Amino acid sequence: MIYAPTAVAPTSLDEVYELLSERGGRAKIIAGGTDLMVALNAESLNAKEFIDIWRLNELRGIDDEGETIRIGALTTYTQLIKSPLILSSVPALVEASRTIGAIQIQNRGTIGGNIVNASPAGDSLPVLAAFDAEVEIGSIRGVRRIDFNQFYIGYRQTVMDADEILLAIRMRKLNPNEQSFFFKVGTRRAQAISKIVTAVKIGITGAEINFINIALGSVAPTVIRAKLTESLLTNAPLDTTIIERARRTISQEIAPITDVRSTEHYRRTVAGNALAKILRRLM
């Protein structure tokens, strides 16, 4: 293999901003490398210059902000799995992180990488979508915040400009009357890329659903929210009739494709079954 690419390792965020404003269009940011190195090894990535941010500790860590938590872009899945704060405030994110790759990948893969890699099969992404997360993006021009649910504008496309870097993701903590769920289907539990992945955040009083956020991955060009099914379930009594209707609605609402990992029919069916399974656990 030919190792033509160069790499610079900035030691501060300001240095990253300057590098990106000079060569943002050409240089590729690398963190844990669990996606980029695969592409580089397969020679499907043509980048000549890399900006290595792996040591930029100011982008790493989980902050308790009271109502919300802020997760630095370089935080690894292992750090998420081990965090008591994430377990209590976004439990579905711990579940999702535990299913990503295996320990070798969890030790190097970062949540920021999962977000900017922009794969529709990114396993943490439905959790962020279900929690109405907000992303923090920085550049030499300043810092801006964007709703995660407006971050993707197409297959592997985000709203980020070439001179920008993802800094963090922020989510409201789960309230006592709220719960979160994560469900993933792949060919095996570890390593496999998802055939379908879903995350749910739900608020329930007694047997009535106050609200439900349902996000799915691997069923569309980007992670999506199942808005029709969400409205069907909002303010509805949680019973077997509504669960059956929700199962049918979500199967019809999504528009998955048939690809090497799965068929359209399978994905529609499993999306319905996954939601029904989650809702039944709440009865």
DSSP designation for 110: B
Q: Which stretch binds another protein (CB under 8 A): 27-35, 169-177, 195-203, 268-276?
A: 27-35
Alpha-carbon distance of 195 to 198, in angstroms, equals 10
Q: Which is nearer to another protein, 38 or 162 (CB)?
A: 38
Task: Decide: is 5 part of the binding site for another protein (CB under 8 A).
Answer: yes
Place of tokens 């969400």: 230
Place of tokens 């379908």: 196
What is the β-pairing status of strands 49-52 and 28-30? parallel
**Which token pair is 47?**
């980048």
Sign, Cα dihedral of 55, 59, 64, 69: negative
Task: Decide: is 26 part of the binding site for another protein (CB under 8 A).
Answer: no
Smallest distance, Å, CB 85 to another protein?
21
Task: Decide: is 46 part of the binding site for another protein (CB under 8 A).
Answer: no
End-to-end CA gap in the chain: 56
Among 10, 13, 18, 52, binds another protein (CB under 8 A): 52
Task: Decide: is 266 part of the binding site for another protein (CB under 8 A).
Answer: no
**Which token pair is 36?**
């980029």
Q: Which is nearer to another protein, 51 or 226 (CB)?
A: 51
Task: Tell me the site size for another protein, rule CB under 8 A.
Answer: 31
CB 200 within 8 A of CB 275: yes
Q: Which stretch binds another protein (CB under 8 A): 33-41, 111-119, 136-144, 165-173?
A: 33-41
Q: Which is nearer to another protein, 101 or 112 (CB)?
A: 101
**Which token pair is 73?**
């872009």
Alpha-carbon distance of 210 to 198, in angstroms, equals 20
Q: Which stretch binds another protein (CB under 8 A): 26-34, 131-139, 245-253, 257-265?
A: 26-34
Smallest distance, Å, CB 11 to another protein?
12
Site for another protein in 118-147 (CB under 8 A): none
**Which token pair is 39?**
């592409």
Smallest distance, Å, CB 3 to another protein?
4
Task: Decide: is 103 part of the binding site for another protein (CB under 8 A).
Answer: yes
